[in-house]
Amino acid sequence: STTSKGKGKDSDLRSPICCILGHVDTGKTKLLDKIRQTNVQGGEAGGITQQIGATYFPIEAIEQKTATMSKYEKQTLDVPGLLVIDTPGHESFSNLRSRGSSLCNIAILVIDIMHGLEQQTIESIRLLRDRKAPFIVALNKIDRLYDWKEIPNNNFRDSFEQQSRAVQDEFETRLNNIQIELAEQGLNSELYFKNKNMAKYVSIVPTSAVTGEGVPDLLWLLLELTQKRMSKQLMYLSHVEATVLEVKVVEGFGTTIDVILSNGYLREGDRIVLCGLNGPIVTTIRALLTPQPLRELRLKSEYVHHKEVKAALGVKIAANDLEKAVSGSRLLVVGPDDDEEEMCDDVMEDITGLLDSVDTT
């Protein structure tokens, strides 16, 4: 019972992986929350995300949530779902954040429409550009435009049409200013439905994490861009691509690692290699654990055990000797023909970069 089930399509594409970046308080957590319709943020101290998690959105959920888009756009869904990594906007995680974006197929950069570009927005843009990661902008908190009349969970265009002239004007002014700020960072941008050149112009999706307006547009665009432009990257690979997000002690399991499996399979009993503080770690997967569907790893709900999991998903691995595991590290699986020592050297190459980025923040 893995989370990827798809719709039995012939195409064997994996779920695209998306991550959320942006300045603190722009609404990253709330936006995820709105998409999920659960209330993670309410249960968090100060509403600041302190942990890394991943949320899987099965295609049925996406179809339902993008239904209001059908009037404007047609879409065939070929992927089994969407995996969203919840990257927190906390300074101490910039190491993880930088690594995080390399395992993303597409990123959402959240900008508060009332605040425009902020310090961490600019840092995020730099990060995305360094890693050549494709991204879209969620221009969030449109409900805060003075006198905004909400139509919950609606697509943006229909909601926008319902607004008074004054609201529309304020929106245009703010949008314009933010486009200028983006241009100052060397980015051409355009409202996503006016964007004729997605390769050259960053698409902007206006959203409200409170009313849910623009969320259908956001999901639609994520699927559109990943399916149309990255289908090669979404092909299943026989080899494993995986990244350690977090190292955590869990009662009953000892030290575990939270891993994003971007491609391939992981199986109980697999011999794995990853980067450790005092040298490479080679160990054997004792348990593969996932939380209940549509929950985050950090909710500590009951775990489901798996013999095998298939990308893309967030999975917790229990194994011996994980105490010194380094978050951000790649995780490799030793195959019958692989040279274990070579793999150890490979993963340890990461550590220089990982520790460097810790030092500079």
Positions in the binding site for ligand GDP (CB under 6 A): 22, 24-30, 41, 47-49, 89, 140-141, 143-144, 208-210
Q: Quote the CA–CA distance of 116 and 196 in Å, as a whole number.
A: 24
Q: Are 351 and 327 in contact (CB under 8 A)?
A: no
Q: Which is nearer to ligand GDP, 151 or 334 (CB)?
A: 151
State the nearest-atom distance from the C-beta of 91 to ligand GDP, in Å: 12
CB atoms within 10 A of CB 183: 11
**Looking at residue 47, what DSSP letter applies?**
G
Q: Which residue in this structure is represented by tokens 């112009």?
A: 201
State the nearest-atom distance from the C-beta of 13 to ligand GDP, in Å: 30
Q: Which is nearer to ligand GDP, 221 or 275 (CB)?
A: 221
**Looking at residue 41, what DSSP letter applies?**
G
Element (H, E) at 332: strand 330-333
Q: Which is nearer to ligand GDP, 99 or 141 (CB)?
A: 141
Give the nearest residue (CB) to ligand GDP: 27
Q: Quote the CA–CA distance of 239 and 89 in Å, as a whole number.
A: 31
**Radius of gyration of the chain, Cα coordinates, nearest whole angstrom:** 20
| 25: Cα within 13 Å, side-chain hemisphere | 7
State the nearest-atom distance from the C-beta of 232 to ligand GDP, in Å: 32
Nearest to 258 by CA among 297, 294, 226, 225: 297
Q: Quote the CA–CA distance of 52 and 88 in Å, as a whole number.
A: 7
Q: Which is nearer to ligand GDP, 27 or 80 (CB)?
A: 27
Please name every residue paired with 260 in a beta bridge, in sequence order, or none if there are none: 243, 314
Q: Which residue in this structure is represented by tokens 């494709």?
A: 134
State the nearest-atom distance from the C-beta of 89 to ligand GDP, in Å: 5
State the nearest-atom distance from the C-beta of 168 to ligand GDP, in Å: 18
Q: Which is nearer to ligand GDP, 6 or 88 (CB)?
A: 88
State the nearest-atom distance from the C-beta of 20 to ligand GDP, in Å: 8
State the nearest-atom distance from the C-beta of 28 to ligand GDP, in Å: 3
State the nearest-atom distance from the C-beta of 98 to ligand GDP, in Å: 18
**Looking at residue 15, what DSSP letter applies?**
P
Q: Which is nearer to ligand GDP, 22 or 291 (CB)?
A: 22
Q: Are 242 and 330 in contact (CB under 8 A)?
A: yes
Q: Which is nearer to ligand GDP, 22 or 58 (CB)?
A: 22
Q: Which is nearer to ligand GDP, 47 or 269 (CB)?
A: 47
In which region does residue 65 sit, left (phi positive, over 0), alpha (psi from -120 to 50) or beta (all else)? alpha
Q: Which two tokens stand for residue 221?
A: 């665009």
Q: Are 112 and 143 in contact (CB under 8 A)?
A: no
